Each structure stands twice: as structure tokens, then as C-alpha cells.
Amino acid sequence: MGNRGTSRRGSGASLFEAAAAKEVGQGSRPLADRLRPHDLGEVVGQRHLLGPGQPLERAISIDKVPSMVLWGPPGSGKTTVARVIAARTRAYFVPYSAVLGTVPELRMLLQEAKEARLYHARRTLLFIDEIHRFNKGQQDAFLPYVEDGTVTLIGATTENPSFSVNAALLSRCKVFRLEGLDEQAVVTLLERAMGEAERGLGGLGVAVEPQALVAIARLSDGDARRALNTLEMVVDQLEPGASLTVEAVARSSEHRPLLYDKSGDEHYNVVSALIKSMRGSDPDAAIYWAMRMLEAGDDPLFVLRRLMIFASEDIGNADPRALQVAVAADQSFRRMGMPEGLYPIAQAVLYLAVAPKSNAVGNAFKRARSAISEHGSLPVPDKLRNSPTSLMKSMGYGKDYRYPHDEAGHHAAGETYLPDVLADETYYEPSDQGLEKAIGERLERLRPPKARR
């Protein structure tokens, strides 16, 4: 953008230039910032996007980068990828924070990007960190500038863009999903940090025990920034002449924070893993995911509510005690609190995981609801109607009703209780699991022949 004769702000520098200038920084910069890759070849991980011939790598190589949303966990490289794209395409990189910036500033940046395109033929890559923090109206402000090519928008978010980015903006952007780095990728990054003298810590001459880097990688949960920050902190705390060892890492590191957002995408992913593990009768996976939720600070009452739902939805009458166990766990936890309340929660999770499974209860009420939706309020058969008065009896209410306890086996064989239109329908079909196998055999004897067919 160069030096313009006048400035709207009277300072000799536009907001457009000031935003980019923030990236330069002064003085000592954190290791994670110093070690940011400058080119695709330096990027660790994300080979499904940046490897040879992969979608984003092709777009960068032919300089046809679309507006996009980079979706991934913290430290997966969203900002790094945006910087590399800007460097490769020689676009003017303008970072902007949805948390710290204001909408008037953003509008001024967009206007200056428009002028840069019109008067200097310079493209602008506008990087919006935490784009999900903008509301719908604020996100709509980008639309005309994205549509006419004034800016190439790169939004970064840790939340599922399907829920956090409005549909109009999302339809104009390509979504790329970044994954957390695997252990080996993080170790590679840490080795680079310890080997580079100019940007890294190589000039300190610290001897490194390989397993120490593995320990830091495991503490990072796939977060490159966290791994580099941890490495820098551990090295800073070493005594002169000391080596970087597993013991040194253990002394300097606190309990690792789990990747988990109690109101976001990862929360529902872990809940889904718990439910599917119990449904799949895997007690080991089930207890692992349940503890993941609780260790990350999820509300135990939320977990218990899910267990009670599961007991009816996925077990039902295959083992009626499952619901009793889940309800008892909920009641026990409310009396015990934490940490003792973990015992009834764990007991319930394990019981539900190994119990026989059936979804017949849910199927039954869904079929009944479907019949109600299709047929409406069918009249109650006269024989089933309440008849407390003489008038009601004279109208036929209760006539021909057969009292089961007066008949053999306490069952009125051949009798029907559904509305006449639905008399031959069957809604509850017990599975062959657990107690439902016996229930099914009993119903075979009790149901009228047409209903059995």
C-alpha cells in the first residue's frame, strides 16, 4: 500500500497497514511464533490437504486459492496455513481478530483492500481468526467483498462451521478440516526447534533425551503451539549444563488440559463415542469415554441423564434392570457428590455396556406415533369405554368387555384392544436378546393369530 500523501487517521499509516504491522512484532517473540513455517515444505502434518496433489496444495500451486474456512482444533496450524498461502500467492496478508477487532475497523480494512485492488492490482488475503465469534450480521458484512474478489477470505475456527458460520457466507467458502497433529509430527516439530539455532533453541547447546520430546508431544494433545510453549518453558527452567530429560518435563509440566468444549463440537463427538461404545457392548471404550467427559469438566448430571436415556433407548426390556441401575446411579451421585460419585457412574456405564441390547421400545412408540399421525383420533371401541353411569351403559359403553382375570390364564384369548382400523397392527416386536426373548415367546402365545402374522 506504500506511503500515501494523506491519511484518514492523520497518522501516516492506515488501519490496513497497521493490521499487517502487528505481525512483525518487536523484541523477543515466543518460540511458537519464531518457528512458524514460511513455506509449504516446512509445514508439519495436514498432508491430506497440503501433500502433493491434495486439494489445497493444488489450489496454492496454481494460484487459484478460494475463500475458505479452516476448521480444526487449537494448534493444528490454521494461522500457519493462511500465512503460507499469502506468501506463496504474494497476496497482502491482513490478520484480523474477531475477538479484539471492531466492525468499523473491519469495514475500513475492506475498503482499503478494495482500493488496493483497484489502484495497485494487489490482492488481499484477509485472515479472520475465530470467525465464529462474529454474529450473523457481522459475517454478512464480508459477503459483497468476497463475491466481487476484493478479498480472499480465510476464516479460522475451532467450532463446526455448519453451526458457527452463517449459510450465506459458508456457501461462498470452501471448508478445509485440519486435524490435530499426531505424536510423530509433534516430535518432528520439537526436534526442529531444538536443532535450529537462528529461530529455535539450537544455539543453547542443550543435550536432549529423545523420550523427553515424546513426553512433551503426548502432553500437547496434537497442539503444536502447546508443544512448543511447553518445550520453551522446560528449557528455560533447566539449570546451566542440565539436559532435557523426561524428569525435567515432568517437573515443569502441569496436568494436561483435555481438548474439549462443553458446548461445542468436541463435546458432542465424545458423547457420541460414549453412546456408541455402550451400544457396541464395549465396556473398556465406554468407561474411557465417560471418564474423558468427566475429567474434562463435563457436568456429571449430563452424563447420568444420557445413561438413563440409553437404558431405555438401547436396552429396554432386554434387561429392565438397566434403567433401575441408571436411575440409582443418578440418585446416588446426588447424595454422594464428587469424587465418590464416580463409583455409581462407572458402575452404571459398565453395566449398560455389557447388558443385552434392544431398541424395540423405541421402535414400538415410534410406530404407534406414526399410526396416530396417519389416522388421527380414532374412536375408542365401545367395549373399552368407561361406563360409570346408566346412560353410558345404555349407549353400549363397556358392552362385551371381557375381564381377563375371569378367564383361563388371566387372559382373554383372541380379544383385541386397538381401534378397529388398527386391530391387526403390531407395534412392539421384542428382540431375541435377554429378557425380551422370553417376552417374545409369551407374546407369540398371547397375541391373536392375525397380529402374530
Positive or negative torsion for Cα 374, 375, 377, 381: negative
Domain 265-354 matching CATH 1.20.272.10: the answer reads yes
* Fold topology of 15-177: Rossmann fold (3.40.50)
The reported pLDDT for the residue numbered 345 is: 95
The reported pLDDT for the residue numbered 254 is: 58
Helix then strand then coil, in percent of the chain rounded to 5, is 55, 5, 40
Cβ count within 10 A of residue 16: 21
Element (H, E) at 61: helix 55-61
- Please classify residue 416 by burial: count the beta carbons closer than 10 Å to its beta carbon, then call 0-12 exposed, 13-18 middle and 19+ buried: middle
Beta strands at 174-177 and 92-97: parallel, antiparallel or unpaired:
unpaired
Cβ count within 10 A of residue 287: 18
Cα gap 189→403, rounded to integer Å = 79
Cα gap 350→10, rounded to integer Å = 68
Query: Any idea where the domains of the chain sit in the sequence?
Result: 15-177, 183-252, 265-354, 379-452
Q: Are residues 176 and 144 in contact, defined by beta-carbon separation less than 8 angstroms?
A: no
The reported pLDDT for the residue numbered 383 is: 85
The reported pLDDT for the residue numbered 328 is: 96
Q: Which three cell numbers stand for residue 164?
A: 458457527
Among candidate residues 216, 212, 235, 215, the one with its CA nearest the CA of residue 226: 216
Q: Which three cell numbers stand for residue 262?
A: 462443553
Distances (CA, A) of 235 to 187, 190, 248: 16, 12, 9
Q: Which three cell numbers stand for residue 95?
A: 490478520
The reported pLDDT for the residue numbered 246 is: 87
Cα gap 242→238, rounded to integer Å = 6
Mean pLDDT by 10 residues, the chain (453 residues): 36 45 55 84 85 86 87 87 83 80 78 83 85 80 82 87 84 89 90 89 89 88 88 89 87 60 68 93 92 85 94 94 95 88 94 93 90 87 85 84 85 83 85 86 78 44
Cα gap 166→189, rounded to integer Å = 35
DSSP calls for 138-161: HHHTTHHHHHTTSEEEEEEESS-H
Cα gap 315→308, rounded to integer Å = 10
Cα 245–chain centre separation: 35
Cα 171–chain centre separation: 21
* Fold topology of 379-452: post-AAA+ oligomerization domain-like (1.10.3710)
Instruction: Specify the DSSP class assigned to residue 433.
Output: S
* Fold topology of 183-252: Helicase, Ruva Protein; domain 3 (1.10.8)
pTM for the whole structure: 0.56
Is-cis flag, bond preceding 339, omega within 30? yes
